[in-house]
Amino acid sequence: MEIHKVVHLDDLQESRPHQVVLDGRQILLTKVYGQPLAVADACPVDGAALSEGTVVGGRAVCPMGGCSFRLADGELLSDPGMHVDVFATRLTADNWVEIEVP
């Protein structure tokens, strides 16, 4: 597992999707209620980049089909059997966001 320091928490806007690429993986990073959350940035239904959609109420909404994924666990709300990968995040002492990539 690798840990990547990606952005300062103050540079993330609340509930605004932000794309980062780590180890060749596209990841949606956002801040919800002041906490960073990261999930795979591809909708498993249609392949669209979730970072091009919206973040509402702790959910990432796909820009193409409107699929809604809970950011805390990656679950597709309309089909609990489907999900996107979730990446652990943490803050450094000086509020930099780090993402763990397996």
Would you give the DSSP letter of residue 95? Answer: -
- pLDDT at residue 68, rounded to an integer: 96
In b/e form, how buried is each residue of 79-100, taking b as 16+ CB within 10 angstroms?
A: eeeebbebbebeeeeeebbbbe
Residues 45-78 pLDDT 10s: 999 999 999 999 999 999 999 999 999 999 999 9
pTM score, two decimals? 0.94
Residues 11-54 pLDDT 10s: 999 999 999 999 999 999 999 999 999 999 999 999 999 999 99
Domains and CATH numbers, the chain: 2-101 (2.102.10.10)
